[in-house]
Amino acid sequence: MVIEPMYGWRCRIGRITPATALEGIEEWRRWSPPGVAIMPSLINTGLMTHKDMKKMMSNVDRAAEDVAQAQVDVVIQCCAPGTFTQGPGTDEKVIARLKKITGKPATTMHQATIDAMKALGMKRIAMSTAYRDDFNKDMQADLIRRGFKILSVVGLNTADPKTLPFIGPERPFRAMVEAARLAKGKGADGVIFAGGGMRSFEMINAAERETGLPVVTGGQAGFWRCLRLAGIDYNIESLGSLFTK
């Protein structure tokens, strides 16, 4: 038996996360390198509506204060619709608040996804999500504003995030493959899946093999970005091309 000096001796990640996001939290714990600990602070999500996303984001400052008490090394706001549905510049504002409250490097899941796409050189995107059409349109508009071209969109039409922990990783896999199929012949250079409360980690390498393209998922991108912000350059081979960056 190996006894660690303390949990999180290498890095403590403060994860501000929807209370429904059990799958996302456990994926991060399962795939964490030695010495990395995950400290979640839960916020109520409600339903997948613009009104509930705005209400959820009103609790982010309180959650940041909570994780700061755990002496985290980096902090992330999870639930990408919490920022991309609230208009241009929201990610930057949230990140600035998180840094001010915690005194630590910070990101959002949506910004981490953008950073991951850029790290892999993605510009022409096959997009798949857990979301309904209204959220998909918001996300697509945000990505276009940031310079990406969206070649296809496949959404899993989730209305209630409480259903996400009961959905297996095969559904994100099928959504990614379908988005890549719809973008075939259009010069796609990457596939994304947004919906960090839905399991995807087991399927990332399989999706890259099936589509022949690099894959970015929200949960994977958030995890990658937090590790890199903490100075941990760790290649987790089962999590796709992104973890070689």
- 176 touches 128 (CB < 8 A): yes
**100-159 pLDDT, tens per residue?**
999 999 999 999 999 999 999 999 999 999 999 999 999 999 999 999 999 999 999 988
- Show the tokens assigned to 49: 């509506």
Count Cβ neighbours within 10 Å for each residue of 189-226 and write b for 16 or more, e otherwise. Answer: bbbbbbbbbbbbbbbbebbbebbebbbbbbbbbbbbbb
DSSP E strands in the chain: the ranges are: 11-18, 36-43, 74-77, 106-108, 124-129, 149-155, 190-194, 215-217
User: How many C-beta atoms lie closer than 10 Å to residue 176's C-beta?
Assistant: 29
Sorted by sequence, the CB contacts under 8 Å of residue 185 that are 6+ apart come out as none
Q: Residue 20 has what pLDDT?
A: 86
Residue 241 DSSP class: G
Which domains can be identified in the chain, with CATH numbers?
11-109+220-237 (3.40.50.12500), 112-217 (3.40.50.12500)
Distance (Å, rounded) from C-alpha 154 to C-alpha 109? 19
Listed as ranges, residues in the chain with pLDDT below 50 are none
pLDDT of residue 159: 86
Which of 12, 27, 14 lies closest to 197 in space, CA to CA?
27
